[in-house]
Amino acid sequence: AQKITQTQPGMFVQEKEAVTLDCTYDTSDPSYGLFWYKQPSSGEMIFLIYQGSYDQQNATEGRYSLNFQKARKSANLVISASQLGDSAMYFCAMIPNTGNQFYFGTGTSLTVIP
Amino acid sequence: KAGVTQTPRYLIKTRGQQVTLSCSPISGHRSVSWYQQTPGQGLQFLFEYFSETQRNKGNFPGRFSGRQFSNSRSEMNVSTLELGDSALYLCASSRSEETQYFGPGTRLLVL
């Protein structure tokens, strides 16, 4: 069975500071993809970053980086230099390469404080 | 390249009615997935279509159905609406087992 766990229902961060959003996953598939999405109050899910399970290096996309620790089955999202516009829900997701269904965590609500 | 579009964006229905939601994927994407999002249950997977075939189905009653057309556009239908069907319905497209790109969603309110 596949499972994504996000243990932080809500997080606060000061503007311009860095913040880490936690994500752990459980899968028996040897190969899988990990994703982070941002959902502002408008509702649309915005793709942020992708990490393949066999990627040797941690993924980075601008101010977003994914701290991938395969042995611990964790895929934490790091947002550097937080901006007010980063306030949103953040979802971690996984797709096993043997399947075609995405599995989402319950999300973390991030609030950036001026 | 145009993103995923969903129509309508907002919908109000009454119990017992049926509703059809539409999703147009990104050009070249053949996989379309549907999700229901509610404050209580979070994001729940409804079904996934690829080349007009349903490949995966979530744990929803038979009132929820979908289909995909030859141009990859997809529709989902909910019959005999219940109050609990009020939710944000999200559609996502991808080439295959790759990054899913989401549409803006359809907010359904059942009265």
Q: What does the pLDDT read at residue B97?
A: 64
Cα gap B26→B91, rounded to integer Å? 11
Give the pLDDT band of residue A99 (cuts 50, 70, 90): confident
Give the pLDDT band of residue A1 (cuts 50, 70, 90): confident
Give the pLDDT band of residue A98 (cuts 50, 70, 90): confident
Cα gap A5→B15, rounded to integer Å? 34
Cα gap B58→B88, rounded to integer Å? 16
Q: What does the pLDDT read at residue B98?
A: 76
Task: Say yes or no for a CB contact (<8 Å) between A45 and B96.
Answer: no
Buried b (16+ CB within 10 A) or exposed e, A79-108: beebeeebbbbbbbbbbbeebbbbbbbbbb
Residue A48 has pLDDT above 90, yes or no: yes
Mean pLDDT of residues grouped by 10 in chain B (111 residues)?
92 97 96 93 92 92 97 97 97 85 96 97
- B73 at A interface, C-beta within 8 A: no
Q: What does the pLDDT read at residue A2?
A: 85
Q: What does the pLDDT read at residue A97?
A: 81
Cα gap A104→B42, rounded to integer Å? 9
- B66 at A interface, C-beta within 8 A: no
Cα gap B23→B106, rounded to integer Å? 10
Q: Which residue of A has its CA nearest to B4?
A: A44
Cα gap A9→A30, rounded to integer Å? 29
Compute the average pLDDT of residues A88-114. 92
Residue A93 has pLDDT above 90, yes or no: yes
- The torsion of the CA quartet A23, A29, A33, A36, rounded to 10 degrees, works out to -20
Q: Which of B43, B96, B99 sits opposite A104 (nearest CB)?
A: B43
Residue A10 has pLDDT above 80, yes or no: yes
Q: Which of B45, B99, B105 sits opposite A47 (nearest CB)?
A: B99
Cα gap A42→A10, rounded to integer Å? 18
Count CB atoms within 10 A of the CB of residue B92: 24
Task: Say yes or no for a CB contact (<8 Å) between A33 and B97.
Answer: yes
- B102 at A interface, C-beta within 8 A: yes
